[in-house]
Amino acid sequence: MAQFFSVHPDNPQSRIIREAVIVIKAGGIIAYPTDSGYALGCQLGNKHALERIQQLRHLDKTHNMTLVCRDLSELSTYAKVDNITFRLLKSFTPGAYTFILNATREVPRLLLHPKKRTLGLRIPNHAVCLALLEHLEKPLLSTTLLLPETEFPLAEPEAIRDLLGNQIDLIIESGSCEYQPTTIVDLTGEYPVVVREGKGDPKPFIHD
């Protein structure tokens, strides 16, 4: 049965966050809150944990997993960006955006789109999530907590426990999350392309 940690949404307790990081580093799958709803996450590079998430969500090889980062300091390790793109990212992070970027060779092939060598990168504006990343000191491999054949992601921690308590290792609860998906912006071409409109304002990326 999954462990269940309750943390303050604005001032998460460091002791509990450190315990959550231990679960992640041991290969566990967690459900955790973000600024656009609850998500599933695991340690970057853990193939078994990634495969468990893919099975849980029935994801195929074409689904772009997302690297959730605390800031842009690790960006150059995982993504190829020029100065213009970096300034753009700096202006819109943290926030409810997922940016599609060209990946570097440091990114495991398992995480990439099979044809495009791209990845999703996200820096959320949520205290619990950022505290988790601060203690982990690495990006979290993540995807929305949307179960197969359901229209909306799970938003209530108790419902997550009821449905997934035997399939994941930890639920971090900080209250219910109103789900509104991130705005997805593809930055791999000459101009930004809004792939999906969501919580983040898409207007700055729409090219006339």
Q: For residue 179, which of 153, 197, 160 has the smallest C-alpha distance? A: 153
CB 140 within 8 A of CB 117: no
**Range scoring the smallest mean pLDDT among 69-73, 107-111, 198-202:** 107-111
pLDDT category, 12, cuts 50, 70, 90?
very high
**Contact at 8 Å (CB) between 6 and 174?**
yes
- Per-domain residue ranges for the chain? 3-203
Instruction: Report, as an integer, the average pLDDT of 2-28.
Output: 97
Q: Which CATH superfamily includes the segment(s) 3-203? A: DHBP synthase (3.90.870.10)
Bridge partner residues of 7 (DSSP)? none
Distances (CA, A) of 18 to 24, 77, 89, 165: 10, 25, 28, 21
Is residue 116 within 8 Å of 63, Cβ to Cβ?
no
According to DSSP, residue 35 is labeled B
pLDDT digits (tens, 9 = 90+) for 92-146: 999 999 999 998 887 777 676 667 788 899 999 999 999 999 999 999 999 999 8
Tens of pLDDT, residues 152-172: 888 888 999 999 999 999 999
Cα separations (Å) of 118 from 109, 135, 158? Answer: 10, 27, 35
